[in-house]
DNA sequence: ATAAAGTTTTAGGTTTGTCTAAATTTAAAT
DNA sequence: ATTTAAATTTAGACAAACCTAAAACTTTAT
Protein backbone atom coordinates (compact mmCIF):
# COMPACT_ATOMS: atom_id res chain seq x y z
CA UNK A 1 0.00 0.00 0.00
CA UNK A 2 1.31 3.41 -0.97
CA UNK A 3 0.80 6.54 1.14
CA UNK A 4 -1.59 7.82 -1.46
CA UNK A 5 -3.71 4.68 -1.45
CA UNK A 6 -3.86 4.83 2.34
CA UNK A 7 -4.93 8.45 2.27
CA UNK A 8 -7.74 7.69 -0.16
CA UNK A 9 -9.06 4.86 2.01
CA UNK A 10 -8.99 7.10 5.05
CA UNK A 11 -10.78 9.86 3.14
CA UNK A 12 -13.54 7.49 2.02
CA UNK A 13 -13.97 6.23 5.56
CA UNK A 14 -14.19 9.73 6.99
CA UNK A 15 -16.66 10.99 4.40
CA UNK A 16 -18.89 7.98 4.98
CA UNK A 17 -18.48 8.28 8.75
CA UNK A 18 -17.58 4.62 8.93
CA UNK A 19 -20.82 3.48 7.32
CA UNK A 20 -21.19 1.62 4.03
CA UNK A 21 -22.66 4.54 2.06
CA UNK A 22 -21.81 5.19 -1.56
CA UNK A 23 -19.28 8.00 -1.65
CA UNK A 24 -19.13 10.34 -4.62
CA UNK A 25 -16.06 11.04 -6.69
CA UNK A 26 -16.39 14.77 -6.10
CA UNK A 27 -16.62 14.35 -2.34
CA UNK A 28 -13.39 12.38 -2.32
CA UNK A 29 -11.71 14.90 -4.60
CA UNK A 30 -12.65 17.71 -2.24
CA UNK A 31 -11.50 15.86 0.86
CA UNK A 32 -8.20 14.94 -0.78
CA UNK A 33 -7.72 18.36 -2.35
CA UNK A 34 -7.27 16.75 -5.73
CA UNK A 35 -9.17 16.55 -9.03
CA UNK A 36 -12.10 14.22 -9.74
CA UNK A 37 -10.21 12.61 -12.62
CA UNK A 38 -7.40 11.66 -10.25
CA UNK A 39 -9.95 10.13 -7.93
CA UNK A 40 -11.41 8.02 -10.72
CA UNK A 41 -7.96 6.70 -11.56
CA UNK A 42 -7.34 5.77 -7.95
CA UNK A 43 -10.76 4.17 -7.49
CA UNK A 44 -10.00 1.86 -10.38
CA UNK A 45 -6.78 0.84 -8.75
CA UNK A 46 -8.31 0.34 -5.31
CA UNK A 47 -11.15 -1.60 -6.88
CA UNK A 48 -8.63 -3.81 -8.65
CA UNK A 49 -7.09 -4.51 -5.24
CA UNK A 50 -10.50 -5.26 -3.74
CA UNK A 51 -10.34 -2.38 -1.30
CA UNK A 52 -13.38 -0.55 -2.65
CA UNK A 53 -16.56 -1.46 -4.49
CA UNK A 54 -16.65 0.70 -7.56
CA UNK A 55 -19.16 0.96 -10.36
CA UNK A 56 -18.82 3.67 -12.95
CA UNK A 57 -20.84 6.78 -12.16
CA UNK A 58 -22.24 5.14 -9.04
CA UNK A 59 -19.67 6.08 -6.41
CA UNK A 60 -17.61 3.83 -4.17
CA UNK A 61 -17.82 2.12 -0.80
CA UNK A 62 -15.12 0.39 1.21
CA UNK A 63 -14.92 -3.39 1.13
CA UNK A 64 -14.40 -5.04 4.49
CA UNK A 65 -10.68 -5.26 3.75
CA UNK A 66 -10.63 -1.62 2.73
CA UNK A 67 -12.47 -0.65 5.87
CA UNK A 68 -10.12 -2.52 8.14
CA UNK A 69 -7.15 -0.90 6.41
CA UNK A 70 -8.70 2.53 6.88
CA UNK A 71 -9.27 1.74 10.55
CA UNK A 72 -5.68 0.63 10.95
CA UNK A 73 -4.44 3.94 9.58
CA UNK A 74 -6.83 5.89 11.77
CA UNK A 75 -5.67 3.86 14.76
CA UNK A 76 -2.07 4.77 13.99
CA UNK A 77 -2.90 8.42 13.41
CA UNK A 78 -4.69 8.78 16.72
CA UNK A 79 -2.17 6.81 18.75
CA UNK A 80 0.60 9.02 17.41
CA UNK A 81 -1.46 12.08 18.33
CA UNK A 82 -1.72 10.82 21.89
CA UNK A 83 2.01 10.14 21.93
CA UNK A 84 2.81 13.64 20.75
CA UNK A 85 0.63 15.23 23.41
CA UNK A 86 1.36 12.89 26.32
CA UNK A 87 5.03 12.14 25.81
CA UNK A 88 6.38 15.04 23.78
CA UNK A 89 4.31 17.91 25.19
CA UNK A 90 2.78 18.96 21.91
CA UNK A 91 -0.43 20.90 22.27
CA UNK A 92 -3.56 19.43 20.70
CA UNK A 93 -3.54 21.93 17.86
CA UNK A 94 -0.04 20.92 16.69
CA UNK A 95 -0.36 17.17 16.39
CA UNK A 96 -2.44 16.55 13.29
CA UNK A 97 0.08 17.36 10.56
CA UNK A 98 2.84 15.29 12.14
CA UNK A 99 0.40 12.42 12.70
CA UNK A 100 -0.52 12.60 9.00
CA UNK A 101 3.07 11.57 8.32
CA UNK A 102 3.50 9.10 11.16
CA UNK A 103 0.32 7.18 10.32
CA UNK A 104 2.06 5.72 7.27
CA UNK A 105 4.94 4.09 9.15
CA UNK A 106 4.70 0.36 8.62
CA UNK A 107 5.45 -1.78 11.65
CA UNK A 108 2.90 -3.71 13.59
CA UNK A 109 5.31 -4.13 16.45
CA UNK A 110 5.88 -0.39 16.60
CA UNK A 111 2.22 0.41 16.95
CA UNK A 112 1.58 -2.35 19.49
CA UNK A 113 4.45 -1.12 21.64
CA UNK A 114 3.32 2.47 21.26
CA UNK A 115 -0.17 1.48 22.36
CA UNK A 116 1.33 -0.16 25.42
CA UNK A 117 3.60 2.80 26.22
CA UNK A 118 0.54 5.06 26.17
CA UNK A 119 -1.38 2.58 28.33
CA UNK A 120 -3.94 1.66 25.69
CA UNK A 121 -5.72 4.99 25.30
CA UNK A 122 -9.34 4.91 24.13
CA UNK A 123 -9.51 8.46 22.79
CA UNK A 124 -7.19 10.82 20.99
CA UNK A 125 -6.50 14.42 22.11
CA UNK A 126 -9.56 15.64 20.22
CA UNK A 127 -11.92 13.13 21.77
CA UNK A 128 -12.01 10.83 18.76
CA UNK A 129 -12.07 7.11 19.54
CA UNK A 130 -9.00 4.96 18.88
CA UNK A 131 -9.78 1.62 17.21
CA UNK A 132 -8.13 -1.39 18.84
CA UNK A 133 -6.01 -3.92 16.94
CA UNK A 134 -9.15 -5.49 15.49
CA UNK A 135 -10.67 -2.21 14.42
CA UNK A 136 -13.22 -2.08 17.21
CA UNK A 137 -14.00 1.09 19.13
CA UNK A 138 -16.75 2.40 21.37
CA UNK A 139 -19.02 5.01 19.87
CA UNK A 140 -19.73 7.31 22.76
CA UNK A 141 -23.20 8.85 22.85
CA UNK A 142 -22.35 12.49 22.34
CA UNK A 143 -24.26 15.50 21.04
CA UNK A 144 -23.27 18.82 19.65
CA UNK A 145 -23.52 21.50 22.30
CA UNK A 146 -25.76 23.39 19.89
CA UNK A 147 -28.36 20.63 20.17
CA UNK A 148 -28.74 20.93 23.94
CA UNK A 149 -31.66 22.62 25.65
CA UNK A 150 -31.65 25.06 28.52
CA UNK A 151 -30.65 23.35 31.78
CA UNK A 152 -29.03 20.43 30.01
CA UNK A 153 -25.74 19.50 31.59
CA UNK A 154 -22.88 17.45 30.26
CA UNK A 155 -19.20 16.80 29.88
CA UNK A 156 -17.21 18.22 27.01
CA UNK A 157 -15.91 15.14 25.20
CA UNK A 158 -14.79 16.22 21.75
CA UNK A 159 -14.51 18.74 18.96
CA UNK A 160 -16.08 18.57 15.53
CA UNK A 161 -13.77 21.15 13.99
CA UNK A 162 -10.24 20.23 14.97
CA UNK A 163 -8.55 23.05 13.11
CA UNK A 164 -5.66 24.70 14.88
CA UNK A 165 -7.66 27.93 14.86
CA UNK A 166 -10.59 26.51 16.78
CA UNK A 167 -8.44 24.54 19.21
CA UNK A 168 -6.38 27.61 20.03
CA UNK A 169 -9.59 29.53 20.60
CA UNK A 170 -10.70 26.90 23.12
CA UNK A 171 -7.31 27.03 24.85
CA UNK A 172 -7.50 30.80 25.11
CA UNK A 173 -10.92 30.53 26.68
CA UNK A 174 -9.85 27.71 28.95
CA UNK A 175 -12.33 25.25 27.51
CA UNK A 176 -10.95 21.71 27.52
CA UNK A 177 -12.14 18.15 27.16
CA UNK A 178 -13.50 16.90 30.46
CA UNK A 179 -14.98 20.25 31.45
CA UNK A 180 -18.49 20.23 32.81
CA UNK A 181 -20.85 22.37 30.76
CA UNK A 182 -24.32 23.54 31.68
CA UNK A 183 -26.65 25.43 29.38
CA UNK A 184 -27.97 28.41 31.31
CA UNK A 185 -29.73 30.13 28.46
CA UNK A 186 -30.09 30.20 24.69
CA UNK A 187 -30.40 33.48 22.86
CA UNK A 188 -32.98 33.26 20.08
CA UNK A 189 -31.68 36.39 18.40
CA UNK A 190 -28.22 35.10 17.39
CA UNK A 191 -28.31 31.49 18.54
CA UNK A 192 -25.62 32.14 21.14
CA UNK A 193 -25.38 30.13 24.35
CA UNK A 194 -25.04 31.25 27.92
CA UNK A 195 -23.07 28.51 29.65
CA UNK A 196 -21.57 27.59 32.95
CA UNK A 197 -18.25 25.84 32.40
CA UNK A 198 -16.57 24.50 35.52
CA UNK A 199 -18.55 26.99 37.59
CA UNK A 200 -17.58 29.97 35.41
CA UNK A 201 -20.05 31.84 33.27
CA UNK A 202 -19.48 31.92 29.53
CA UNK A 203 -21.15 33.13 26.41
CA UNK A 204 -20.36 31.35 23.17
CA UNK A 205 -21.58 31.93 19.63
CA UNK A 206 -23.67 29.35 17.81
CA UNK A 207 -20.64 28.60 15.65
CA UNK A 208 -18.66 27.53 18.69
CA UNK A 209 -21.61 25.56 20.09
CA UNK A 210 -21.97 23.60 16.88
CA UNK A 211 -18.36 22.43 17.00
CA UNK A 212 -18.20 21.11 20.55
CA UNK A 213 -19.35 17.62 21.48
CA UNK A 214 -20.95 17.04 24.86
CA UNK A 215 -21.98 13.90 26.67
CA UNK A 216 -25.18 14.66 28.51
CA UNK A 217 -25.22 13.69 32.18
CA UNK A 218 -28.64 14.94 33.24
CA UNK B 1 13.16 16.94 -0.35
CA UNK B 2 11.77 13.56 -1.31
CA UNK B 3 12.52 10.35 0.58
CA UNK B 4 14.62 9.21 -2.31
CA UNK B 5 16.72 12.37 -2.40
CA UNK B 6 17.28 12.06 1.34
CA UNK B 7 18.36 8.45 0.98
CA UNK B 8 20.88 9.34 -1.72
CA UNK B 9 22.42 12.10 0.42
CA UNK B 10 22.69 9.70 3.34
CA UNK B 11 24.29 7.06 1.11
CA UNK B 12 26.89 9.51 -0.19
CA UNK B 13 27.70 10.61 3.34
CA UNK B 14 28.09 7.05 4.56
CA UNK B 15 30.27 5.95 1.67
CA UNK B 16 32.54 8.95 2.14
CA UNK B 17 32.54 8.47 5.90
CA UNK B 18 31.64 12.10 6.36
CA UNK B 19 34.68 13.36 4.46
CA UNK B 20 34.66 15.38 1.25
CA UNK B 21 35.92 12.61 -1.03
CA UNK B 22 34.68 12.11 -4.55
CA UNK B 23 32.19 9.26 -4.51
CA UNK B 24 31.71 7.06 -7.55
CA UNK B 25 28.44 6.38 -9.28
CA UNK B 26 28.86 2.65 -8.91
CA UNK B 27 29.52 2.91 -5.17
CA UNK B 28 26.28 4.83 -4.71
CA UNK B 29 24.38 2.39 -6.90
CA UNK B 30 25.61 -0.51 -4.80
CA UNK B 31 24.80 1.20 -1.49
CA UNK B 32 21.33 2.14 -2.72
CA UNK B 33 20.71 -1.21 -4.37
CA UNK B 34 19.86 0.52 -7.59
CA UNK B 35 21.38 0.91 -11.07
CA UNK B 36 24.19 3.31 -12.01
CA UNK B 37 21.98 4.99 -14.58
CA UNK B 38 19.43 5.81 -11.89
CA UNK B 39 22.23 7.29 -9.80
CA UNK B 40 23.33 9.54 -12.63
CA UNK B 41 19.78 10.84 -13.00
CA UNK B 42 19.59 11.62 -9.31
CA UNK B 43 23.03 13.23 -9.17
CA UNK B 44 21.94 15.66 -11.85
CA UNK B 45 18.92 16.56 -9.82
CA UNK B 46 20.81 16.91 -6.55
CA UNK B 47 23.45 18.97 -8.34
CA UNK B 48 20.73 21.24 -9.70
CA UNK B 49 19.59 21.76 -6.11
CA UNK B 50 23.14 22.48 -4.96
CA UNK B 51 23.26 19.48 -2.65
CA UNK B 52 26.16 17.75 -4.41
CA UNK B 53 29.10 18.79 -6.56
CA UNK B 54 28.86 16.79 -9.72
CA UNK B 55 31.03 16.71 -12.80
CA UNK B 56 30.42 14.09 -15.46
CA UNK B 57 32.55 10.99 -15.03
CA UNK B 58 34.28 12.54 -12.01
CA UNK B 59 32.02 11.42 -9.18
CA UNK B 60 30.21 13.53 -6.61
CA UNK B 61 30.80 15.07 -3.21
CA UNK B 62 28.32 16.66 -0.83
CA UNK B 63 28.08 20.44 -0.69
CA UNK B 64 27.94 21.93 2.80
CA UNK B 65 24.16 22.14 2.47
CA UNK B 66 24.00 18.54 1.30
CA UNK B 67 26.19 17.44 4.16
CA UNK B 68 24.11 19.18 6.78
CA UNK B 69 20.98 17.61 5.31
CA UNK B 70 22.59 14.18 5.43
CA UNK B 71 23.56 14.78 9.05
CA UNK B 72 20.04 15.85 9.89
CA UNK B 73 18.66 12.60 8.50
CA UNK B 74 21.28 10.55 10.32
CA UNK B 75 20.45 12.42 13.51
CA UNK B 76 16.79 11.54 13.11
CA UNK B 77 17.56 7.92 12.26
CA UNK B 78 19.70 7.40 15.33
CA UNK B 79 17.42 9.25 17.72
CA UNK B 80 14.52 7.10 16.59
CA UNK B 81 16.66 4.01 17.11
CA UNK B 82 17.33 5.09 20.68
CA UNK B 83 13.63 5.75 21.17
CA UNK B 84 12.68 2.31 19.91
CA UNK B 85 15.15 0.60 22.24
CA UNK B 86 14.75 2.79 25.31
CA UNK B 87 11.05 3.54 25.24
CA UNK B 88 9.47 0.74 23.24
CA UNK B 89 11.69 -2.17 24.28
CA UNK B 90 12.85 -3.06 20.78
CA UNK B 91 16.09 -4.99 20.68
CA UNK B 92 19.02 -3.43 18.83
CA UNK B 93 18.67 -5.79 15.89
CA UNK B 94 15.08 -4.74 15.20
CA UNK B 95 15.34 -0.98 15.04
CA UNK B 96 17.08 -0.20 11.78
CA UNK B 97 14.27 -0.87 9.31
CA UNK B 98 11.72 1.09 11.28
CA UNK B 99 14.19 3.95 11.71
CA UNK B 100 14.69 3.96 7.94
CA UNK B 101 11.07 4.99 7.69
CA UNK B 102 10.94 7.32 10.70
CA UNK B 103 14.02 9.29 9.62
CA UNK B 104 11.96 10.89 6.85
CA UNK B 105 9.31 12.41 9.11
CA UNK B 106 9.49 16.17 8.73
CA UNK B 107 9.09 18.14 11.95
CA UNK B 108 11.85 20.00 13.68
CA UNK B 109 9.78 20.27 16.81
CA UNK B 110 9.21 16.52 16.84
CA UNK B 111 12.88 15.72 16.74
CA UNK B 112 13.81 18.34 19.33
CA UNK B 113 11.20 17.00 21.72
CA UNK B 114 12.25 13.43 21.05
CA UNK B 115 15.86 14.38 21.78
CA UNK B 116 14.70 15.87 25.08
CA UNK B 117 12.54 12.85 25.98
CA UNK B 118 15.57 10.62 25.47
CA UNK B 119 17.73 13.01 27.51
CA UNK B 120 19.97 14.05 24.64
CA UNK B 121 21.70 10.76 23.90
CA UNK B 122 25.16 10.92 22.35
CA UNK B 123 25.18 7.44 20.81
CA UNK B 124 22.66 5.17 19.17
CA UNK B 125 22.10 1.52 20.17
CA UNK B 126 24.93 0.40 17.88
CA UNK B 127 27.45 2.86 19.29
CA UNK B 128 27.20 5.30 16.40
CA UNK B 129 27.36 8.97 17.36
CA UNK B 130 24.22 11.13 17.16
CA UNK B 131 24.82 14.55 15.59
CA UNK B 132 23.37 17.47 17.54
CA UNK B 133 21.04 20.08 16.02
CA UNK B 134 23.99 21.74 14.33
CA UNK B 135 25.38 18.52 12.93
CA UNK B 136 28.25 18.26 15.40
CA UNK B 137 29.21 15.01 17.03
CA UNK B 138 32.19 13.60 18.87
CA UNK B 139 34.31 11.08 17.01
CA UNK B 140 35.32 8.63 19.66
CA UNK B 141 38.77 7.09 19.29
CA UNK B 142 37.87 3.49 18.70
CA UNK B 143 39.62 0.57 17.04
CA UNK B 144 38.48 -2.69 15.59
CA UNK B 145 39.02 -5.50 18.05
CA UNK B 146 40.99 -7.24 15.31
CA UNK B 147 43.60 -4.48 15.42
CA UNK B 148 44.38 -4.97 19.11
CA UNK B 149 47.49 -6.75 20.38
CA UNK B 150 47.80 -9.32 23.10
CA UNK B 151 47.20 -7.80 26.56
CA UNK B 152 45.38 -4.77 25.13
CA UNK B 153 42.29 -3.96 27.13
CA UNK B 154 39.29 -1.86 26.24
CA UNK B 155 35.59 -1.21 26.33
CA UNK B 156 33.29 -2.49 23.61
CA UNK B 157 31.78 0.68 22.11
CA UNK B 158 30.31 -0.24 18.78
CA UNK B 159 29.69 -2.61 15.91
CA UNK B 160 30.85 -2.26 12.34
CA UNK B 161 28.42 -4.77 10.94
CA UNK B 162 25.01 -3.93 12.35
CA UNK B 163 23.12 -6.65 10.56
CA UNK B 164 20.46 -8.40 12.56
CA UNK B 165 22.43 -11.64 12.16
CA UNK B 166 25.56 -10.28 13.79
CA UNK B 167 23.69 -8.45 16.54
CA UNK B 168 21.74 -11.56 17.45
CA UNK B 169 24.99 -13.51 17.54
CA UNK B 170 26.37 -11.01 20.05
CA UNK B 171 23.20 -11.23 22.13
CA UNK B 172 23.41 -15.00 22.18
CA UNK B 173 27.00 -14.81 23.36
CA UNK B 174 26.19 -12.11 25.90
CA UNK B 175 28.50 -9.56 24.31
CA UNK B 176 27.13 -6.05 24.65
CA UNK B 177 28.26 -2.45 24.33
CA UNK B 178 29.98 -1.35 27.53
CA UNK B 179 31.56 -4.75 28.16
CA UNK B 180 35.22 -4.80 29.13
CA UNK B 181 37.32 -6.81 26.71
CA UNK B 182 40.88 -8.00 27.16
CA UNK B 183 42.93 -9.75 24.51
CA UNK B 184 44.47 -12.83 26.12
CA UNK B 185 45.90 -14.39 22.99
CA UNK B 186 45.81 -14.27 19.21
CA UNK B 187 45.91 -17.45 17.20
CA UNK B 188 48.15 -17.10 14.17
CA UNK B 189 46.65 -20.13 12.48
CA UNK B 190 43.09 -18.80 11.93
CA UNK B 191 43.34 -15.24 13.27
CA UNK B 192 40.95 -16.04 16.09
CA UNK B 193 41.09 -14.21 19.42
CA UNK B 194 41.16 -15.51 22.95
CA UNK B 195 39.40 -12.87 25.02
CA UNK B 196 38.28 -12.11 28.52
CA UNK B 197 34.91 -10.37 28.44
CA UNK B 198 33.61 -9.21 31.82
CA UNK B 199 35.80 -11.81 33.50
CA UNK B 200 34.58 -14.66 31.29
CA UNK B 201 36.80 -16.40 28.78
CA UNK B 202 35.84 -16.29 25.16
CA UNK B 203 37.14 -17.34 21.80
CA UNK B 204 35.98 -15.40 18.77
CA UNK B 205 36.79 -15.78 15.09
CA UNK B 206 38.65 -13.10 13.18
CA UNK B 207 35.41 -12.27 11.43
CA UNK B 208 33.79 -11.35 14.72
CA UNK B 209 36.88 -9.47 15.86
CA UNK B 210 36.89 -7.33 12.75
CA UNK B 211 33.32 -6.19 13.34
CA UNK B 212 33.54 -5.05 16.95
CA UNK B 213 34.80 -1.60 17.93
CA UNK B 214 36.75 -1.20 21.12
CA UNK B 215 37.99 1.85 22.96
CA UNK B 216 41.38 1.02 24.39
CA UNK B 217 41.83 1.80 28.06
CA UNK B 218 45.33 0.51 28.64
C1' DA C 1 50.39 3.31 -27.98
C1' DT C 2 46.72 0.50 -28.56
C1' DA C 3 43.43 -2.69 -27.17
C1' DA C 4 40.58 -4.46 -23.65
C1' DA C 5 38.04 -3.84 -19.60
C1' DG C 6 35.56 -1.22 -16.52
C1' DT C 7 32.80 2.88 -15.45
C1' DT C 8 29.57 6.31 -16.45
C1' DT C 9 26.28 8.57 -19.20
C1' DT C 10 22.60 8.85 -22.65
C1' DA C 11 18.49 7.32 -24.98
C1' DG C 12 14.28 5.51 -24.64
C1' DG C 13 10.74 3.11 -21.83
C1' DT C 14 7.71 1.95 -17.48
C1' DT C 15 4.88 2.88 -13.31
C1' DT C 16 2.67 5.93 -10.01
C1' DG C 17 0.09 9.76 -9.17
C1' DT C 18 -1.10 13.82 -10.74
C1' DC C 19 -3.12 17.30 -14.21
C1' DT C 20 -6.26 19.65 -18.24
C1' DA C 21 -9.52 19.32 -21.67
C1' DA C 22 -12.94 16.83 -23.95
C1' DA C 23 -16.49 13.30 -23.99
C1' DT C 24 -20.00 10.78 -21.57
C1' DT C 25 -23.45 9.86 -18.22
C1' DT C 26 -26.73 11.28 -14.74
C1' DA C 27 -29.68 14.67 -12.49
C1' DA C 28 -32.41 18.89 -12.53
C1' DA C 29 -35.26 22.31 -14.68
C1' DT C 30 -38.37 23.91 -17.73
C1' DA D 1 -39.96 15.21 -22.78
C1' DT D 2 -36.47 18.00 -23.92
C1' DT D 3 -33.01 20.94 -22.63
C1' DT D 4 -29.59 22.42 -19.44
C1' DA D 5 -26.53 21.75 -15.79
C1' DA D 6 -23.69 18.98 -12.92
C1' DA D 7 -21.00 14.99 -12.05
C1' DT D 8 -18.03 11.57 -13.78
C1' DT D 9 -15.03 9.31 -16.86
C1' DT D 10 -11.74 9.10 -20.72
C1' DA D 11 -7.83 10.68 -23.40
C1' DG D 12 -3.57 12.47 -23.47
C1' DA D 13 0.26 14.71 -21.00
C1' DC D 14 3.78 15.33 -17.31
C1' DA D 15 7.25 14.78 -13.38
C1' DA D 16 9.51 11.48 -10.30
C1' DA D 17 12.04 7.52 -9.84
C1' DC D 18 13.22 3.70 -11.60
C1' DC D 19 14.76 0.30 -15.54
C1' DT D 20 17.53 -1.88 -19.96
C1' DA D 21 20.48 -1.42 -23.72
C1' DA D 22 23.67 1.15 -26.17
C1' DA D 23 27.09 4.78 -26.52
C1' DA D 24 30.90 7.45 -24.55
C1' DC D 25 34.50 8.05 -21.54
C1' DT D 26 38.44 6.44 -18.35
C1' DT D 27 41.55 3.24 -16.65
C1' DT D 28 44.34 -0.82 -17.03
C1' DA D 29 46.96 -4.14 -19.39
C1' DT D 30 49.68 -5.48 -23.00
MN1 LIG E 1 -5.65 14.24 13.37
MN1 LIG F 1 -7.41 13.63 16.27
MN1 LIG G 1 20.27 2.10 11.61
MN1 LIG H 1 22.36 2.60 14.33
Query: Residue B199 has what pLDDT?
Result: 86
Q: How far is the CA of A113 from the C1' of D29 (A)?
A: 59
Tell me what the mean pLDDT of segment A123-134 comes to.
97
B186 neighbors B204 (Cβ within 8 angstroms):
no
Residue B205 lies in a domain: yes
Of A117, A118, A127, A119, nearest to A214 by C-alpha is: A127
Residue B109 lies in a domain: no
Of B26, B113, B104, nearest to B69 by C-alpha is: B104
Residue B168 lies in a domain: yes
Residue B133 lies in a domain: no
Any A CB within 8 A of B91 CB? no
Residue B120 lies in a domain: no
Q: What is the pLDDT along chain B (218 residues), one digit of tens a residue?
A: 999 999 999 999 999 998 889 999 999 999 999 999 999 999 999 999 999 999 999 999 999 999 999 999 999 999 999 999 999 999 999 999 999 999 999 999 999 999 999 999 999 999 999 999 999 999 989 999 999 999 999 999 999 999 999 999 999 999 999 999 999 999 989 999 999 999 899 899 999 999 999 999 97
A25-29, A199-203, B40-44, B207-211 — which is least confidently predicted? A199-203
Residue A45 lies in a domain: yes
Residue B208 lies in a domain: yes
B95 neighbors B125 (Cβ within 8 angstroms):
yes
Q: Measured from the CB, is A8 under 7 Å from any atom of strand D? A: no
Which chain A residues are Cβ-neighbours of B110 within 8 angstroms? 84, 88, 98
How far apart, in whole angstroms, are the C-alpha atoms of residue B11 and residue B144?
23
Contact partners, residue A41, CB within 8 Å, separation at least 6:
none
Query: Residue A199 has what pLDDT?
Result: 86
Any B CB within 8 A of A91 CB? no
- Span from the CA of B95 to the centroid of ligand 3 (angstroms): 7
pLDDT-derived band at A18, boundaries 50, 70, 90: confident
Domain-ending residue, one of B26, B44, B62: B62
What angle separates helix B25-32 from helix B3-15, to the nearest 10 degrees? 120
Classify each residue of B47-72 as buried b or exposed e, where b means 16 or more C-beta atoms within 10 Å of its C-beta. beeebbbbeeeebbbbbeebbebbbb
Residue B135 lies in a domain: no
A60-64, A101-105, A188-192 — which is least confidently predicted? A188-192
Contact B109 A117 (CB under 8 A): no
Provide the domain count of chain B: 2
Q: Write out residues whose CB is closer than 7 A to strand C.
A: A 2-5, 34-35, 37-38, 41-42, 45, 57; B 24-27, 36-37, 39-41, 43-44, 54, 56-59
Average pLDDT, chain A: 96
Range of the domain at B174: 143-216
Query: Residue A20 has what pLDDT?
Result: 86
- Span from the CA of A158 to the centroid of ligand 1 (angstroms): 13
Q: What pLDDT digit, counting tens, does each position of A133-159 carry?
A: 999 998 999 999 999 999 999 999 999
How far apart, in whole angstroms, are the C-alpha atoms of residue B155 and residue B197?
9
Which chain A residues are Cβ-neighbours of B105 within 8 angstroms? 98, 101-102, 105
Domain-ending residue, one of B30, B62, B94: B62
Phi, psi of A28 (to 5 degrees): -65, -45
Tell me what the mean pLDDT of segment A168-195 comes to.
95
Which chain B residues are Cβ-neighbours of A118 within 8 angstroms? none
**Burial class for B151, CB neighbours closer than 10 Å (0-12, 13-18, 19+):** exposed
Domain-ending residue, one of B15, B41, B62: B62
Query: Residue B8 has what pLDDT?
Result: 98
What share of chain A has pLDDT > 90, as a percent?
94
Cβ-nearest to B101 among A87, A97, A106: A106
CATH number at residue A24: 1.10.10.10
Q: Measured from the CB, is A39 under 7 Å from any atom of strand D? A: yes
Q: What pLDDT digit, counting tens, does each position of A84-124 carry?
A: 999 999 999 999 999 999 999 999 999 999 999 999 999 99
CATH number at residue B189: 2.30.30.90
Cβ-nearest to A98 among B84, B110, B117: B110
CA torsion angle for B68, B70, B74, B75 (degrees, to 10)?
Answer: 20
Amino acid sequence: MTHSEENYLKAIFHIGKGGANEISTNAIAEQMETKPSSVTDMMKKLSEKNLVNYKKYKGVSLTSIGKSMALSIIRKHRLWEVFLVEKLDFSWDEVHDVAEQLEHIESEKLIDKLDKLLDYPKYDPHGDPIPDKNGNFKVIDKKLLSELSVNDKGICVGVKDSSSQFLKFLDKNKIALGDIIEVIDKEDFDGSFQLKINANSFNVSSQIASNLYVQITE
